Amino acid sequence: MVNTRSRRSWRCRDGQHRLCIFMAKKETPVLLQVPTHVAIIMDGNGRWALSRGLPRLAGHRAGTENLRRIIRACVEFGIKYLTIYAFSTENWGRPREEVDGLMHILEDVIDKELAELNNEGVQLRHIGHLERLDPKLQEKVLEAIDLTKDNNRLILNVAFNYGGRDEIICAIQRIITDGVNPDAVDSDLVSKYLFTAGVPDPDLIIRTSGELRVSNFLIWQGAYSEWYVTSVYWPDFTKEEFRKALDTYALRDRRYGGLSSTPEDNPAHVD
């Protein structure tokens, strides 16, 4: 029987120091590698609702309920950053009733969940634009950000009225406005001008509902992210489904454009 408190660390294939926590049940590691930053395209809410004969907004509310469970799972698994795609710049083109409903859901979440999130040590951040939101909702978002700014158990980036191309355009405009010398522009500098400045790029991007599209999400930051796509709709993406994604990630050999770090996959590799 393995001691449930026993821990062992070793050098993984990517050369990084990893922690493995063993469970007595099945005597297998919970996670071989824990991604620092996970980003999620929470897709399939509307289809989940329609498949049950419910209005689309019922699916969005169910998706919001599920987010609470995934946030708790992130804390349990030791993930430090979670970025969720809640509302894109293109979503304004949806029916007015659905857009208004999504705005109300965001306001309800802040009213009902903020205190608990703050008590759990979750820091809320917003990426995107607030300008098109109702002034009252803008104020609530800013108050939530300010209230949780000192929390560090989990950093939750909420991409609301966000688009990846728009983010890059805004970064370019600010670089020009600041009079940066063109020769000084490199990847590190551009990253500092993005909405996610100071946040490490996502190690893993998850998309639910089976769609094989980037959908204008974290275009710059996701350049070398690992992807995991599942046909499961977001409201049904349980902690167990999340665990599957993390287990799959743990088996990836992240090469960043280079060769495999393992001799068996790279005959030319020399220790």
**Residues identified as active-site:** 43, 91
3-state secondary structure of 59: helix
Gyration radius from the chain CA atoms: 20
Nearest C-alpha neighbor of 107 from the set 89, 83, 73, 130: 130
| Cβ-proximal residues to 29 (8 Å cutoff; 6+ apart), any chain | 20, 21, 22, 23
Nearest C-alpha neighbor of 192 from the set 179, 201, 182: 201
Can you say whether the dihedral through the CA atoms of 221, 43, 123, 138 is positive or negative? positive
How far, in Å, CA of 133 to CA of 125, rounded? 16
How far, in Å, CA of 248 to CA of 270, rounded? 27
Cα distances (Å, whole numbers) of residue 200 to 112, 174, 190, 212:
29, 21, 13, 24
